[in-house]
Structure 1
């Protein structure tokens, strides 16, 4: 990683990448509510909380906060409300809050990419092979996780218990 990437920023970027991938997987799946949906959803929710919480340690050049931090506060609230809603068996509210949280993530990602001085565009300009490798690793680990989850669907519950 370039020297300007701290451990916090690296953790934030990795969690955001997984959030983008696993959120899309769950939103695009035809069947909702099954074991695979819950597992992917839990991975997504944990990675989203990591994104939100690490964002507060990442400041602007002058040490302040910006609109992305406000989005983090909103996302923390909507994510928590979505989890609360499904715990209360309110599927409609759960769907709304989680979809909103995901599209907020997309908006933040576009916002980060749109500013050329941010780290990801700089990585694309100065370290393109490294960025390509990172994308391949993220996609590969995500694919392996999704394949593993898909295998759970095919394994009878009695075999998992053993």
Structure 2
């Protein structure tokens, strides 16, 4: 069986991911637009950049550029897409809905990556099948929640 963490970089990546998961969970749970939401949100963004960036230097699962590296790129893009509506000064109400959508999917992506990272460590299981199962499970459950919440967001932000 694989060791959970093999290197200093692996520990850095793992600890940054845990902090991002905690901050992301807080952001999803608390009321939007509050000081705590903004503070936890920026903690999430900073640690997600560190997680995605450090992922490009970790190759111990496959020995080469692989699915987790591609997902790190997707994570960067999703995070950027979620933050652009906040950073644009002339924000419109509709842009806040885009912010919510992309940030929720950014957090889901982090949770899916974590679940995938854990599940591929089960011995004698097909790597990509296990990644697909973990990712699909997290995104299915998360998407149901997001579609349920989207009605509430639209009413609040698109008045």
TM-score w.r.t. structure 1 length? 0.66
Which 5+ residue runs of structure 1 have no aligned equivalent?
119-162
Is residue 11 from structure 1 mapped to residue 12 from structure 2 by the alignment? yes
Instruction: Name the structure 2 match of 1:134.
Output: none
Structure 1 Cα separation of the partners of residues 121 and 84 of structure 2? 38
CA shift digits 1:52-85 (9 cap, x unpaired):
0000000145530221111100110110111111
How far does residue 87 in structure 1 lie from its aligned partner after superposition? 1.7
Alpha-carbon separation, structure 2, partners of 1:15 and 1:75: 14
Task: Confirm or deny: 8 A CA contact 1:78 1:97 kept in the other structure.
Answer: yes
> Where in structure 2 are there 5+ consecutive unaligned residues?
124-159
After TM superposition, what 4+ stretches of structure 1 lie above 6 angstroms from structure 2? Answer: none
> In the alignment, what sits opposite 2:111?
106
The higher radius of gyration belongs to 1
Q: Distance in 1 between matches of 2:17 and 2:67?
A: 17
Q: Which residue of structure 2 aligns with residue 138 of structure 1?
A: none
User: Do residues 21 (structure 1) and 22 (structure 2) align?
Assistant: yes
Trace 1:8-157 onto structure 2 (pairs within 5 A).
Answer: 8-29=9-30, 31-61=31-61, 63-88=63-88, 89=91, 90-116=95-121
